[in-house]
Amino acid sequence: MVGQATSGLDNLIDQQELEKTQANSLSDIFRHDPAVNVGGAVSMGQKIYVRDIGEDLLNISVDGAEQAGAVFHHAGRINIEPELLKQVEIEAGAGSATAGPGALGGSVRFTTKDPEDLLKDGQNVGALLKAGYSSNGSGNKFSTTVYGRDSGGILSGMVSLVDSNFDNLEDGNGDEIPGSESDKSLGFVKLVANFDEAHRLSVSYEDLNERGDVLYKPELGNANNNVPEPTKGDRTTTIINYGWNPQDNELIDFSVNLYHTDNKQAREYTGTSYDGGVKSVGTTIENTSLLGNHKLIYGVNYRDDKSTLNDVDTSPYHFEETGEVWGVYVQDVVDVTDQLTVTGGVRFDDYHLEDVNGLEFDDDGVSPNLSANYALNDQWSVSAGYAEAFRGPEVKDAFKLSSASNDSSLKGEESHNTELGLNYDNDNFSLSAGVYKSVIENPIGGTVPWSKVAVNLEDDIKSKGVYLRAEYTMDRLQLGASLKKSKVEAGGETVTRYVYGSGAVSIGDTIQLDASYQFSNTFEAGWNMEYVRSIDDIKLQVGTDTLLTEKPSYTVHDIYARWLPTGNEDFSVSLAVNNLFDEQYLNHASVEDFEDNAGWAGIVGSPDPGRDIRLTLAYSF
């Protein structure tokens, strides 16, 4: 990306990559991206970390609908069905003003498929049928998607139904992972109207449900006080996107995004039933204007959140708190010369929170960014950038509402991200490398993991690292290598997921190697390896206890193959073997193992699954 050191897209996961892994869960989506980590076998316990900064400090959206609130701090906030996805965009670190409010550690944007993505040339009506099997958990997955358009190409639509069923998974030692079973169902409808070349309107509705006997605290492993209990998770999202882009007017590329999302869970624990959720309603209005050598992007955001809990054991039984944020932003990309591109922007965000105890919080902040890219020649370019981001107090996760509170002096968090990059690109070989340093000031959390009072922590979260990606392509062969080396500390101590939860984690130095070969026009195969180096001698002060732990290294190999028996895309057979050699490991994005410390039994995440052989048959007509 030219001129995008801290102000643009860092990585793109496309539909082809998702099909290679036959993604079933959040962790599968990012399985081969070292910048993004998602650990654990229990899908409800999986959380996203971008450059080791967690989902609470990211701006995460589905077709523009921000997924802003968590239902339960021991569970992940993102519930997604990979079958729907067209692509995933990752912006690592505080960056562009267009990233949205609260993007302290960057943004993750999920984009779903359109009917046009599925229709073939000259086709007006079609269907895609898929049937998949996973050996680990004896899982089955079936999907049916029907799509079509009118003869004039103005109206198009699609309906997708997905159903999957997985028993408890097994780890690399062949032991069952309790609470990892999952039954999922999805209903998805999207209608698109291309009124003319300038006007486009899409309306979509998604209803995603997950059921199963899930661990009470899904991010922790099975223990006497953490057993599988009946759990339901639901996310419904309605999204309207409108675009106006007249071809003869460079001043107008206008878009409006409206959304309503409702993310909720219903659980039982020791015979007690309770449920909670977070509803968000919001909009983004944006325009892009081309003015000479300037590409000017400007707009406004607004989001209203409500977190609610219904708890039959606690009078008055119903709890809620509300928050809202509005922002205005502008980002300018300037082609100064043929070699130099400069991009700069700023956003202003204003937050208001009325918490469950009636306290009100108002805070606002300005987030500037500036970066530049200079092309040394046709192959080499260098970039540098600096960006800030602000996030004010937001609604708590629903399951905390009956017992948690906020410090009366609570204020917003700020991040500062500095990055240097180097890029090389020719016909067969490409290389990208960089270094970064990020500091998150005034992080909001508890002084101990079990704290019921949210405060601004004394210690900043400091993250620094280097990354590298090299690719070589020759005819039908593709080779790649990635390196990520990072260190995350707060107050001189290694940051752990157990202490910082959805805010930050520490991942060992990571090397990924990948290769693929197109044997013919109908058969492709590939391999991926990930090595994560150990983090040793971790020493933490948690409350009155001094805790010692380590994060052992692991190496995971995946292979895949895709075959078109009929010679075209009408019928495909896909095979993937994840964790080929049955590696037994605790993912570094999972809760660390503290069980060797006296009195800390049960404080450990679930291991990742062992070998999983996946087979998918797809037929379209």
Non-local CB neighbours of 506 within 8 Å, separated by 6+ positions: 52, 486, 487, 488, 494, 495, 496, 535, 538, 551, 588
- pLDDT, tens only, 444-474: 999 999 999 999 999 999 999 999 999 999 9
Cβ contact 299:331 at 8 Å: no
Mean pLDDT computed over 526-545: 96
Query: Which residue from 115, 185, 112, 117 is spatially nearest to 146, judged by alpha carbons?
Result: 115
Q: Residue 538 pairs with which residues in a beta bridge?
A: 549
Dist. CA 416–CA 556, nearest whole Å: 34
Q: Check whether 377 has a pLDDT greater than 70.
A: yes
- pLDDT, tens only, 156-170: 999 999 999 999 999
Side-chain half-sphere exposure of 119, counting CA atoms within 13 A:
19
Cβ contact 333:3 at 8 Å: yes
Mean pLDDT over the full length of the chain: 94
Single-letter residue type at 210: E
Dist. CA 25–CA 233, nearest whole Å: 14
Query: Which residue from 391, 484, 410, 432 is spatially nearest to 105, judged by alpha carbons?
Result: 391
Whole-prediction pTM: 0.95
What are the helix (H) ranges across 55-214? 115-118
Dist. CA 128–CA 76, nearest whole Å: 30
Q: Check whether 151 has a pLDDT greater than 50.
A: yes
Non-local CB neighbours of 155 within 8 Å, separated by 6+ positions: 149, 191, 192, 193
Q: Do the bridges between strand 59-62 and strand 106-112 make them parallel or antiparallel, or are there none, so unpaired?
A: parallel
Phi, psi of 94 (to 5 degrees): -55, 135
Query: Which residue from 492, 502, 584, 483 is spatially nearest to 538, judged by alpha carbons?
Result: 492
Mean pLDDT computed over 484-501: 96
Kindly indicate the confidence band of residue 315, based on its pLDDT and cuts at 50, 70 and 90.
low
Kindly indicate the confidence band of residue 15, based on its pLDDT and cuts at 50, 70 and 90.
confident
Q: What is the SS3 string spanning 289-311?
A: EEECCEEEEEEEEEEEEEEEEEE
Q: Which pair of tokens denotes residue 147? A: 């799509």
Task: Tally Cβ neighbours within 10 Å of residue 465.
Answer: 21
Dist. CA 578–CA 614, nearest whole Å: 8
Place of tokens 């959390």: 445
- pLDDT, tens only, 272-313: 788 999 999 999 999 999 999 999 999 999 999 999 999 766
Q: Residue 471 pairs with which residues in a beta bridge?
A: 430, 480
- pLDDT > 70: percent of the chain: 98
| SS3 of residue 83 by DSSP | helix
DSSP calls for 416-467: EEEEEEEEEE-SSEEEEEEEEEEEEES-EE-SSTT-SEEEE-SSPEEEEEEE
- pLDDT, tens only, 227-252: 999 999 999 999 999 999 999 999 99
| SS3 of residue 186 by DSSP | strand
- pLDDT, tens only, 433-445: 999 999 999 999 9
Task: Tally Cβ neighbours within 10 Å of residue 330.
Answer: 15
Q: Check whether 3 has a pLDDT greater than 50.
A: no
Kindly indicate the confidence band of residue 16, based on its pLDDT and cuts at 50, 70 and 90.
confident
Q: Residue 149 pairs with which residues in a beta bridge?
A: 156
- pLDDT, tens only, 346-370: 999 999 999 999 999 999 999 999 9
DSSP tag of 500: H
Cβ contact 468:433 at 8 Å: yes
